[in-house]
Structure 1
Amino acid sequence: MTSNTNYGTTLLRISLGIIYIAHSLYLKLVIFTLPGTAAFFESIGLPAILAYATFAAEAIGGIALLLGVQARWAALALVPVALGATWAHSDAGWIFSNTGGGWEYPLFLAIATAVIALQGNGSLALQRDRAADQ
């Protein structure tokens, strides 16, 4: 990858890491609480345990993305989480500011996360990608 591509990938990776950490540690843990998140999952027909798995995936995956450690694998694990969020918000319409949140934002997260799964860590990562060195 060229230097600019590496920096672009890095910017996207770090931004996504921060977003996933915020969605897990702040939104699900502090604002909604884990039991509240589990209740929401149940209200849309999903098992409550999936809320805890989603919280863990977002927290661990977000940290991995932020630090640039196994970013491809972390992103690959987070794509289904973002697609699940897209599905969960699909009844609310397109715009995320709608009541219940729309589905365009989680869909964008899924696509951006897939980009990191394809491109890897980029620059400024604790773990270097072999492709980034070429």
Structure 2
Amino acid sequence: MDIGLVLLRLVVGLLMAGHGAQKLFGWFGGHGVPGTAGFLESLGWRPGRLYALLLGVAELFGGLALALGFATPLAAAVLMAVLANAALVVHGRHGLWNTAGGYEYPLVLIGSALALAFTGPGRFSLDHLAGWATGGIAWGFATVLVAVLGTVAGLAAHEHGARTGHDRTVGQAA
């Protein structure tokens, strides 16, 4: 079981960290902060540069923490909130299936992160090395609560930015 948890943590965590590196540094075919900021502003998150940085940091460090099994419930909650916002704002209108741009992929990642929150990261993790028992039903439900709060905060920021039409140049490098 522990090897399976390591594999799950590495695949999900490193893919999410890679998404963060795309947004922050332009690695792996990403567009860096400027491109991500423009995309986020087009969706209604303003100022785009601030949200690009927050999103990139959440994905990079949340993904690395999940991969290492460090503060696993918090890492899972952060990633779940990011993915839920993407599923709801970007992919939701396209239906379920990824072939049509739907929310299938974010949903699989949310389910994987949630499974890790309930099971814990396993014996081969920094949580275990530190003596932290970060799995079980209480940790799973706490993760859900934090993820829901993060999702609501992200959606509120999106709605506020879309409603106010915040100046698109605020926070962007000249």
TM-score bin (small chain)? 0.7 to 0.9
Q: Which residue of 1 aligns with 2:133?
A: 130
What whole-Å deviation, never above 9, does each CA across 1:6-42 have from its counterpart, x for those lacking one? 3332221121111111111136632222111111111
Q: Structure 1: any 5+ residue segments left out of the alignment?
A: none
Q: Is the 8 A contact 1:71 1:121 kept in 2?
A: yes
Normalization by structure 2: what TM-score?
0.64
Identity score, percent: 33
Structure number with greater Rg is 2
Q: Which residue of 1 aligns with 2:67?
A: 66
Q: Is the 8 A contact 2:69 2:121 kept in 1?
A: yes
Q: Is the 8 A contact 2:24 2:57 kept in 1?
A: no
> Does residue 44 of structure 1 match 2:70?
no
Separation (CA, whole Å) in 2 of partners of 1:97 and 1:36:
24
Normalization by structure 1: what TM-score?
0.81
What whole-Å deviation, never above 9, does each CA across 1:49-84 have from its counterpart, x for those lacking one? 222211101101111111111111111121110101
Root-mean-square deviation over aligned CA pairs: 2.0
Q: Which residue of 2 aligns with 1:26?
A: 22
Matched to 1:112, the amino acid is S
SS of residue in 2 equivalent to 1:89: helix
Separation (CA, whole Å) in 2 of partners of 1:38 and 1:55:
10
Q: Is the 8 A contact 2:23 2:56 kept in 1?
A: no
Q: Is the 8 A contact 1:21 1:59 kept in 2?
A: yes
Q: Which residue of 1 aligns with 2:120?
A: 120
Q: Structure 2: any 5+ residue segments left out of the alignment?
A: 136-174
How many residues were matched structurally?
126
